[in-house]
Each structure stands twice: as structure tokens, then as C-alpha cells.
Amino acid sequence: MTAPAPPVCPRHPDRTSYVSCQRCERPTCPECQRPAAVGIQCVDCVKEQARTVRQPTSRFGAPVRGGRPLVTMTLIAICVVVYLGQRVDDRVTTELMFIPLLAETEPWRFLTAAFAHSPSGFMHIAFNMFALWITGQYLEPLLGRLKFLALFLVSAVGGSVGFLLLAQLPERIGQPSGWTTPTVGASGAVFGLFAAVLVLNRHLGRETGSIVAVLGINAVLGFVLPNIAWQAHLGGAVTGAVLAVVLALTAPKDRTAVASASRRRWFWPAALGVLALLAIASFWRIMSVENALLLQLYS
């Protein structure tokens, strides 16, 4: 008579195991064992359960996860590295800053200016990074990493477009004006985040008094203090508010998975539409200014 073979782990046939999975009842070696509410489960059953169990998400489709806001931290790190480069070499500022005069030939400046700050002092970048950290800790878990990143980047572009649209034109060709004034800073993107917090909190029925006060104080400072591009603040705030309205409209009223996916997927086409509108507005402004300068030249 032959004795029965000892039970072995299906994933590791060379290992004998007398402990079985509570779900599939297969032998499970210590490496493949996962603690369960009662007994243990094998790693295969745990993976299968994770695929079938619906993961909790926020109202805007972001997975409910712990941990740090990685996108916010990455954006802050990029700004800090760029700032250190600006302190070492002035050409970093020159290559990244936004100037309406160069908007047509060097369009990347619409975005890169948000990652550069005034190299002559520390308060500019310190305030912007503090505001980014505060709003990012709230918005990134609420929206998800990709949507939060899109909100920041599109608001940054919107800030530059706002500065472009409202830049003062020279009375005569060659005279200094807002059209030749450079601007740097993440303020436009930060104001977009401020506005998004206001819109989304109202949509969710949450408190909005504090963010209204923050927006009001900073709006007043933009007109009172010198060397502040209030046009970029306004452009970023309007862009962030529009994107937040899109987020609110595409947030599902029904909690079912099918309804959630079908509504939320419209955010990305809408965000591209906002970018297209910003591009059209910029092109219109550039063409209008060029025509005005040509009239000055030949008048």
C-alpha cells in the first residue's frame, strides 16, 4: 500500500503545506498566505476578490486612498528646483517667463511661466507654494491625481491668457507697456485652485466662507500692492471656476458604476474644449494687437 502524497502549495509545488485557504480550500504555504477575517486566504483568492469588489471612490471618481498628495508634492518640488536654478542663472528666468510679445512665436511660455518665480526674493514662491500645498491636500484626494493635475495646468495657461488679454498696449510703437512686461509665478494656477474649491464646495454643500475671504483678500492685494499681475490671477480664477463647473456637471447623480463612468468621461473632452477656447482667445488677441500696431506704424 502507498501512503498519500503530502499536500503542496499550488504556487510552490516544492513546499508542503497543511494549511488550507478558507475560500478555495487549496493548500497554501506561508509565503502565499494572507490573513482574513476568519483564518487565512491564498494570494490568488485575495486578487480575485479585489477585482470583483467595487472600490470606494469620491463623488468625482477619485479612488479613496490614504497617503500623501503626490502630484501636489511633485509640482512644489519642480517649482523649488526651478527657483534654485533661477538664483544660479538668470537665463532660466528669461527662458521660462511669459511675455505677451512672444506669445505667438514661443507659446510654451503660457505654461512654463507658472513654474518660475521672482528670483529677487523668497516671499513670492513661499506664498504660492504654501497656497498650493493647502489647496492640493484638499483637491487632489477629492478629484484624483490626473484631474487635479489637469486643473492646475489648464488654470496656469488660463492665467497667462488672462494676462495676454488684459495687457495694456503701447500708445506708440517702441514704448514700454504691458505687452512687453514679463510675468512669472504659479499665482494664476493657484487662483484657479481657489476658485475650484469655492465652486466644488458649493456644489457639495460644504462651507465656503473661508475660501471666499481668501479670494477677496488676494483680489484686493492684487490691485493695492505693486508688481502683482492681477490679470493672471483673474484669468486663472475664471479658468479654474469653469473647470470646476464642468467637474460638478459631470459628477454622477446615480452612484451606480455604469452611470458614474458615462458621466465622468465627459470631463476630458470638456477640458480640451476649455483649452481650445483659451487658444482661440489668445489668437484673436494677438491678431488684434498686430493689426493695431500696423495701423500705428502706417498712420
Query: Residue by residue, what is the 3-state secondary structure of the chain?
Result: CCCCCCCECCCCCCCECCCECCCCCCECCHHHEEECCCCEEEHHHHHHHHHHCCCCECCCCCECCCCCCHHHHHHHHHHHHHHHHHHHCHHHHHHHCECHHHCCCCCCHHHHHHHCCCCCCCHHHHHHHHHHHHHHHHHHHHHCHHHHHHHHHHHHHHHHHHHHHHCCCCCCCCCCCHHHCCECCCHHHHHHHHHHHHHHHHHHCCCCHHHHHHHHHHHHHHHHCCCCCHHHHHHHHHHHHHHHHHHHHHCCCCCCHHHHHHHHCCHHHHHHHHHHHHHHHHHHHHHHHHHHHHHHHHC
pLDDT value for 125: 93
pLDDT for the residue numbered 258: 45
The pLDDT assigned to 176 comes to: 66
Domain 89-298 class?
Answer: mainly alpha
pLDDT tens string for the chain (299 positions)? 566 777 888 888 888 888 888 888 888 888 888 887 777 888 888 887 776 656 666 667 666 666 689 999 999 999 999 999 999 999 999 999 999 989 999 999 999 999 999 998 898 999 999 999 999 999 999 998 999 999 999 999 999 999 999 988 776 666 667 788 999 999 999 999 999 999 999 988 888 888 888 778 777 766 666 678 889 999 999 999 999 999 998 887 655 544 456 677 888 999 999 999 999 999 999 998 888 777 766 66
Residue 290 has what pLDDT? 82
pLDDT on residue 238: 96
pLDDT confidence of residue 83 = 96
